[in-house]
Structure 1
Amino acid sequence: MSRSTAPLPALALALLTAAGLALPGPAPQAQTVVSEHGLGAVTTISGDATDIAEAETPAEAAGRAAAAAAQSLREAIGKLDQALTADDQVIALTEVIRAYEQGQAALRDSLRRAALRESQLRADFEAQRESLARIVGVMVAMQQSPETLMLLHPAGATSTAQSGMILSAVTPALQAEADRLGASLDEIATVRRIEQAAADSLARGLADVQEARRLLASAVTDRSSMPVRFGEDPKELTALLASADTLDAFADGIVTMEKDIGAPMADFEAAQGSLALPALGRVLRGHDEPDENGIRRPGLTIATQPGALVTTPWPATIRYRGPLLDYGNVMIVEPARGYLLVVAGLAQVFGETGDVLIAGEPMGLMGGQEGPAAEFGAAFVEAAAGGSGPENAQKLYVELRKGKETLDPAEWFVMNPVMSPGTDTDTPDGGEEAEQVRTTE
């Protein structure tokens, strides 16, 4: 009986050629071990540095980054007991909270990269659905057919010998494709383990960092050794607060209330371009960018985690702290004569007018609640994977002024690439363009 289709080996070779498959070459040696911290499997690879970079999957790289970030979270929380016995609890607790937030930011970034990799893998599967279906069909047919039958060819012995040669070439290529599919599925499973372990780590550390924030507020209130450079006239400040109808007018009024604050504490102008932003978070709007109502402001609007720590980036004197108009609690500090740093939207503000703050010292805390531990961890992972911030993100407004002139904060503060800004800038092939991030790392 004649056959109208090509023999199976030739058909398999044609499919492999159409799919662009090649015979597998030598690869670096890899060994997978279980992470002691529960962040899934970690792969150790030996061989040439270039081969190692190619052998490690993006999901494995994200897994190692997530493990490192989770470790920094654990180390930060582990310092809480030590902070309670420190000579200066304010500084010690500030370091604990900031370390936790930096670990949280790093974890968010690694989760986002892992999620991007999973999306890329799933898109690849979808794009190759038809080709993969044919290849799997060939593999199933080859597995179910006796080897001797596959080698037989209706054209005779010569063609049978040729079929054997073709089959010997096809089989390794099919095996290589099967290995590739298996590796992709393993990567997706690795991403899932990373996400679950991250949620667990965040849930375990939440109560401790919340306690650290509470203790910080108490320690700032109890501390009596805060240096004071001068005291504002309460009547003058109260009158200004009552008469000012905008933040701009209030800040201008503060400038006119000249005080002899002595020699500069440091060369503030020389620090231009190197200052850390007061809080970790995502910049929603930059200098003079309109908001959803078309209103332009000269400062930065930053979305932060609930309860985020707000610190001063430079030694400064508190000129005002308290509620102002509809900005919530506002802190205005003077880092150098003629300069004012304004931060608005805090839930709590620390210190008193005239107090001198050192660089990195807490100015206050943002509002909001993270929610129950388990829900917080899961929600954090979901938001990070989607490239967005928390649903209950808080908004911090940051403005820098010289005299009565507002300055572009981007020219003064360091913008580090940790989290994306308001719009996603990922490239279609799964890579990432340079991102603008504004954090204090």
Structure 2
Amino acid sequence: MNAYVVTLFIFGAVVLLTTWLPLVLRRMPLSLPICCIVIGVVLSLSPFTPLPQRNPLQNIGLAEHLTELVVIVALMGAGLKIDRPLGWRRWMITWRLLVFAMPVSIAAIAALGWGLLGLGPASALLLGATLAPTDPVLAADIQVGPPQTGEEDDIRFALTSEAGLNDGLSFPFVMAAIAIAGNSDFTTNWIGHWLAVDVLWKLTSGTAMGWLVGRVLGYLTFKVPKSGRIAKTGDGLAALGFTCLSYGATELVGGYGFVAVFVTALTLRGTERDSSFHGELHDFGEQIERLLMMVLLVCFGSVLAEGSLLSHVDWRSIIVAVVTLAVIRPLAGWISLIGCRQARAEKLIIAVFGIRGLGSIYYLAFATGKAKFDRIETLWATVFMIILISVFIHGVAVTPVMRWIDCARDVDSMRSKKQTLQRAEREM
């Protein structure tokens, strides 16, 4: 049987399913990522499978670049769909999650990895840095809606903005783990270089390049004479160009591209906040993101079914996964929100729904390609287990929980009123 033709047939079927399934799953306690993983498992067990029967440890580079691409596309989409202008007070809930919840989560997960899994300092820190960020890809079901749709309550805004920023802000901790892993003489000489380069320079240059690229693209898109504006094309394909341009330019100067892409999206959105072209950019980016996510999660399911990676999972890995998802993230998130004006139920949802996903795989692949870590199979197996549990538990819970909180706050009627006012303002 022609493997190429079989691959095309299966790919087409899976793409159609991932296009159609969101409509079917809209009112069901299931998510698209769950379905993709199940499809991957089924295909892997099929005698006609075109999927590779090997785990990411056999091809670190491919795992790194595929997850890198889907994350930067998701970051651009997240930035474009946030209606709330950037500001200290307006984004206070986000700053709290970033300044307190993320570092505390990293420290707690690292301690758990060191004490229970027996990981060395470098591997333990890498485990914490890998699992602390909220994933911008798999958290789409609980993020804000497309631009100017009014689907931006505090819960959705907090999780969207947190996912947009903490994927880049966890990078210094990943770099610290790499430095520790490469420090064979156990000295502290690496700390000065890490603070100056990996923290100060890369974060600053990432933010600055993101703003600069966003300003330039905003001018070319909305401010030049109408005949030459990118917005005049109405072509959402520009979103992919914006994403790659911002990421590539920032990485070339040694900055954090993840930070830059999200800042570029926010800056671009702020240039002409009410333009309908943002919707075109977002819609195309979302389609690309969903396609990439589908491919990677199908492969994720295939890796799980193959079994060699999960063979390293034991009772300690299960405990680490449960404690990370059920105790560390919810507790850190809840404490960071003490004093905020949101209701208790809203704070609890924000604290609990810190989904782990493809960004974790990227960081793990990136770091393990740069340095040698101890107990690497245990590290990968634990991360995969946490992602699997997170996808299933959060995927099942998110629809009924958000439906319940929306009904309790009468969000649907308020959103409808806001959309009506926005349409009236545009028609004036």
Q: TM-score normalized by structure 2?
A: 0.25
- Larger Rg: 1 or 2? 1
Q: TM-score normalized by structure 1?
A: 0.24
